[in-house]
Amino acid sequence: MPDPLLVIARDGEHEIEIQRSRFLCRLARVSDVDAAAGVIAEVRRTHWSATHNCTAFRVGRVGEVQRSSDDGEPAGTAGVPMLEVLLRRELTDVVAVVTRYFGGVKLGAGGLVRAYGRAVSEAVDAVGVLRRVRHTRFLLAVPHGDAGRLENALRAAGYPVVDVGYGRDVEVTVTAADPGAFRAWLAARTGGGVEAVEVGEVDVEI
């Protein structure tokens, strides 16, 4: 499976002005095409009087679904350069909407490409990015007398503990990016006395 991509750290907006035209970029985290369409519709309602609301989005674990729209700008001068920024930045599960309020000066095709690309690029810089890494989730059944020490050791070794349940044994749910390395660490730490049972996968943002 391809390496996971990046995601924006938060939703946000960023505005630039070029030749008296205002370019307001809205970035939002989305999980699918419908969510992206919802953000686009919201921006178009908010900025109904704008000259253009151009869009680009990528969704899917590795950005396998991607679309863009020039929304009335000359073909290839808005949506495509916006999408190219998302591709170049290796971003997924994100929608970008750049609202343009025309300032009276025509920018030409090259100027539009640069303006729309810059609006998205600066917006990404403003909100920040996180890396999404696929982790394997493990369930550990640990005797009560050993659970506290093992939980502390897991955290100290950088293995996120996501849940602790108490029953006949203490059931510790932990995630690891490298399953083989985790099993080796656990065996060394417990003398092979605790079994790591895989219970699924989860994406972790770091």
Is the Cα dihedral 174, 175, 176, 181 positive or negative?
positive
Check whether residue 102 and residue 171 sit in a common domain: no
Q: What is the pLDDT of residues 98-154, one digit of tens each?
A: 999 999 999 999 999 999 999 999 999 999 999 998 899 999 999 999 999 999 999
Q: Residue 63 sits in a domain of what CATH number?
A: 3.30.230.30
CA distance 71 to 7: 25
Q: How many domains, the chain?
A: 2
Check whether residue 71 and residue 95 sit in a common domain: yes
Check whether residue 141 and residue 120 sit in a common domain: no
pLDDT at position 3: 57
Structural domain that includes position 189: 133-205
Q: Residue 161 sits in a domain of what CATH number?
A: 3.30.70.120
Q: What is the pLDDT of residues 1-49, one digit of tens each?
A: 345 589 999 999 999 999 999 999 999 999 999 999 999 999 999 999 9
Check whether residue 145 and residue 117 sit in a common domain: no
pLDDT at position 4: 52
Q: Note whether residue 48 is domain-resident.
A: yes
Check whether residue 48 and residue 120 sit in a common domain: yes
Q: Note whether residue 165 is domain-resident.
A: yes
Contacts of 174 (CB under 8 A, 6+ apart): 137, 138, 140, 154, 159, 160, 161, 162, 182
91, pLDDT greater than 80: yes
Q: What is the pLDDT of residues 183-204, one digit of tens each?
A: 999 999 999 999 999 999 998 8
CA distance 28 to 90: 15
pLDDT at position 1: 39
- Position of tokens 């998205």? 120
In 3D space, the residue among 139, 125, 141, 46 whose CA is nearest the CA of residue 85 turns out to be 125
pTM: 0.84
Among candidate residues 107, 127, 147, the one where a domain is terminated: 127
Check whether residue 13 and residue 27 sit in a common domain: yes
Give me the mean pLDDT over the 151-173 stretch: 95
In 3D space, the residue among 115, 170, 174 whose CA is nearest the CA of residue 145 turns out to be 170
Among candidate residues 127, 142, 164, the one where a domain is terminated: 127
